[in-house]
Amino acid sequence: MQKARSPRTRQSGTTTKSWRERFSREKIHRFMFGSKDKEGFLKQFLVYALLICIGFIYVYPILHMVSSSLMTLDDLLDSSIKWLPSSLNFTNYEQAAKSMDFWNALWQSIVIAGVPTVCNLISCSVTGYALARFDFKGKKIVMGIIILSFVLPSQITMIPTYVLYSNLGILNTIWAFILPALFAQGFKAPIFILIFWQFFRQIPKALIEASRIDGAGHFKSFFRIALPSAKPAFITVALFSFVWYWNESYLTELYVHGVYGQSDWTTLVVQLDNFAANFSSYQQTATAGATNLNESINMSGTLLSILPLLILYFVLQRHFVESIDRTGITGE
């Protein structure tokens, strides 16, 4: 016969059981909702689900573009084919590249976007450093003008700028982009000045004063103290400036490519804007013959025009994220 359990034993067993249940509940609650030191599973799940949904919104057009660009005309007409083409048709890229004069347009795009970007880096960094380190009369007015010029739409100043460039004789040349950038008046230059201004303000004044005590002048302090520590700001400004110059089509056609007088300068984005006319000319002069313009060729031309930027972001994404974090901006 089994011995009856004493009240103390029963009470001890009940306490142990309730403690185990409590411990299990706390553990589940901590796992789901987290604690002070660790995020819970529920929050992480919601955050990653939201990021995946947002990422899919951005990635979906690119995936559709790649899929469509590899399809033949029969695949486009076949309603059963949605994503995976029956065969990979790289002829679309070949025809799109030839109609856009891809390699020449790529080189000119790099020059048109790269040279003004370098000019922006030089002029905007000097301007931002001067506003951050020197006090002078009218400084607040200058800052107000810089902010106002950034808020002011470019369409308002388009006609006066066109007349000014025409009087200077720099229309239909790359100097229409280089000359303003040399004087901190390039595309989106005000925000670049503000980025450098904000970054140079974070440099301790003791470093500048110590260099001045050692006999360094303003320029030496700028090149030896300020510039080496401004790498994040330079990367941010360089990427933003290059992308904005690269993607600008209307002002490029107005000032550089030429509206009334054609020039030899063009970009991939301008070639994409005139893709139908360019492909028609290529189709008439093609020795081996070309297919009629369709969605696959259009998608191939679009992908070729953005491919250099995708490669640039892929290579510099880590540096870009770190630079954004250190400069304290969120972009546009």
In angstroms, the Cα distances linking 312 to 162, 188, 244, 318 are: 32, 20, 14, 11
Between these two residues, 225 and 113, which has the higher pLDDT value?
Answer: 113
Report how far residue 222's alpha carbon sits from residue 193's, in angstroms, rounded to the nearest whole number: 15
pLDDT for position 111: 92
Tokens of 268: 């991939």
Between these two residues, 148 and 278, which has the higher pLDDT value?
Answer: 148
pLDDT for position 330: 43
Confidence of residue 332 (pLDDT cuts 50, 70, 90): very low
The pTM for the full model equals 0.77
Residue 112: Cβ-neighbour burial (10 angstroms; 0-12, 13-18, 19+): buried
Confidence of residue 16 (pLDDT cuts 50, 70, 90): low
CATH code of the domain occupying 101-273: 1.10.3720.10
Between these two residues, 39 and 124, which has the higher pLDDT value?
Answer: 124
Report how far residue 184's alpha carbon sits from residue 241's, in angstroms, rounded to the nearest whole number: 12
Answer whether residue 78 shows pLDDT above 70.
yes
Between these two residues, 321 and 243, which has the higher pLDDT value?
Answer: 243
What tens digit of pLDDT does each residue of 201-220 get?
877 777 777 777 766 667 77
Answer whether residue 275 shows pLDDT above 50.
yes
CA atoms within 13 A on the CB side of 204: 4
What tens digit of pLDDT does each residue of 85-143 get?
888 888 888 888 888 888 998 999 999 999 999 999 999 988 888 888 888 888 888 88
Report, as an integer, the average pLDDT of 157-173. 87
pLDDT for position 2: 47
What tens digit of pLDDT does each residue of 304-315 get?
888 888 888 888
Domain residue spans in the chain? 101-273
User: Cα 201 from chain centroid?
Assistant: 25
Q: Whole-number mean pLDDT of the chain?
A: 79
Answer whether residue 1 shows pLDDT above 50.
no
User: Cα 248 from chain centroid?
Assistant: 13
Report, as an integer, the average pLDDT of 58-75. 85
Backbone angles phi, psi at 302, to 5 degrees: -65, -45
pLDDT for position 58: 84
pLDDT for position 5: 52
pLDDT for position 222: 74
Between these two residues, 329 and 147, which has the higher pLDDT value?
Answer: 147
Between these two residues, 332 and 173, which has the higher pLDDT value?
Answer: 173
